[in-house]
Amino acid sequence: MSLLSILFERKELYITLRILRRNPLSVIGSIIVAIFVIMALAAVLVGDKVTPYNPYEIDLSRRLQPPSWTHLFGTDQLGRDVFSRVIIGAPIDLAIALIVVGASVVMGVAVGSIAGYYGGRFDEVLMRITDVFLAFPIVMLALAVSMALGPGIFHVIEALIVVWWPVYARTARAEAMAVKENQYIEAARASGSSNFTIVRNHIVPNIISPLLVYGTLDLGFVILYASVLSYLGLGAQPPQPEWGKMVFDGQIFLRSAWWVPIIPGLIILIVVIGFSLFGDALRDALDPRMRK
């Protein structure tokens, strides 16, 4: 069952919704992801108009005000509305996650499908290169690459792509090795199709769905790692709001104004959990046994 069919075919979409409705955690995860995406899109399309206050405006007369009906998440050390800054920071984290996961899936599918289908020297060389990246802890390698490139959102994206694509390459290789044993691959060879055509028309379409499900699970973790790099000063730079940077800037007020670092940190946690639950739900929706 392909991902496109469960999203756009009426009957398959109905079955998918029934599967999701059986698991309350799936519903919760879907709601969290939907709110996050809508908030990010609204901030991109409308800008500051979607926020109750100007997220960049400094007003020392209202600094460190606790959460209230006036300021839902309170204000920070410069008197800026934390709720407004959380909303404006959402598009950055969503964009980083989508770009990193999208690029990693493309690179992983390209490398993994070639290695898994051709085998031999192709497989040996490509997998040894992949293993070099997998030998390092993700955080340490991402931190090293980010420090080498310098601070900035685009450098964070580049660093995360470097450490993220090998996992997809390994997964794609395993899927490609299983798919190439099917009879329709032998039939395609017998009909005179080139290896490139077989990989493009038969291998890639059959391995892309599980990788996209895996990528959905990864979106939350990419946001987490991007926030860690921003926390260390390697991501978004002032005055641009970013959740990890907001946690860092507010940590010195943890005892006197807990909401400044805690609320952005909770938002990160909730979004990561939401994507994990949503990814589990999507995996169940693609499971043929569940769909029966």
81: β partners: 75
Domains in the chain, number? 1
Q: What is the pTM of this model?
A: 0.87
Whether 249 has a pLDDT exceeding 80, the answer reads yes
Please name the residue that has the structure tokens 């990160």: 268
Q: Can you tell me the mean pLDDT for 227-235?
A: 89
Distance in Å from the first CA to the final CA of the chain:
11
pLDDT digits (tens, 9 = 90+) for 128-141: 888 888 888 888 88
Helix (H, G, I), strand (E, B) or coil at 75: strand
Q: Which of 171, 102, 96, 177 is nearest to 130 (CA)?
A: 171
CATH number, residue 70: 1.10.3720.10
Instruction: State the pLDDT at residue 13.
Output: 65
Instruction: State the pLDDT at residue 290.
Output: 58
Chain centre distance of CA 289: 27
Q: Can you tell me the mean pLDDT for 57-69?
A: 90
Q: Can you tell me the mean pLDDT for 6-29?
A: 70
Instruction: State the pLDDT at residue 217.
Output: 85
**Which residues form the domain of 30?**
3-291
Instruction: State the pLDDT at residue 83.
Output: 93
More confident: 195 or 215 = 215
Whether 8 has a pLDDT exceeding 70, the answer reads no
Q: Which of 223, 227, 220 is nearest to 279 (CA)?
A: 220
pLDDT digits (tens, 9 = 90+) for 175-212: 888 888 778 887 877 887 777 888 888 888 888 878 88
Whether 288 has a pLDDT exceeding 70, the answer reads no
Whether 114 has a pLDDT exceeding 60, the answer reads yes
